[in-house]
Amino acid sequence: MFSQIEIMEYDKSSEVYSKVVRAGKRTYFFDVKATKNNDLYLTLTESKKTIIDGRESYQKHKLFLYKEDFEKFQDGLADALGKIHSITSGEENDTDSSSDEVNTDRPVDQFSEVSFDDL
């Protein structure tokens, strides 16, 4: 029987794992893939259904995340989600941030209103 690594070598798409998250009009795909050297990386894809001239179409945006960035990405995401939680719960608990992080602690009412549809 083949090991998992040997099977991945024969798999043309190199997909190791996939998770689909449906969220309203958007669908998010979390795909773990392997390079030819069996290094793992993550692709995050946002897919949004749109209707153009009466026909369904999908807009896709993709982000590639490589293993050397996993920890920093996870820390940044956790920090941002924690900030959202503290703002929405009324608790402003600032913690020490890493030195390479840009901190823009502004009151919520000073943020410009941007729709992801505009991006």
Per-domain residue ranges of the chain: 4-67
In order along its 119 residues, the chain shows pLDDT tens digits of 444 555 444 455 588 999 999 999 899 999 999 998 889 999 999 999 888 888 989 999 999 999 999 999 999 999 999 999 999 988 765 555 444 555 555 454 444 454 555 44
Task: Please state which CATH class domain 4-67 belongs to.
Answer: alpha beta
Residue with tokens 């009151």: 107
- pTM for the predicted model, two decimal places: 0.61
In sequence order, which residues have a C-beta less than 8 Å from that of residue 67 and are 6 or more positions away? 39, 40, 41
Structure-token pair, residue 75: 């820390």
- Classify residue 27 as exposed, middle or buried by CB count within 10 Å of its CB (0-12, 13-18, 19+): middle
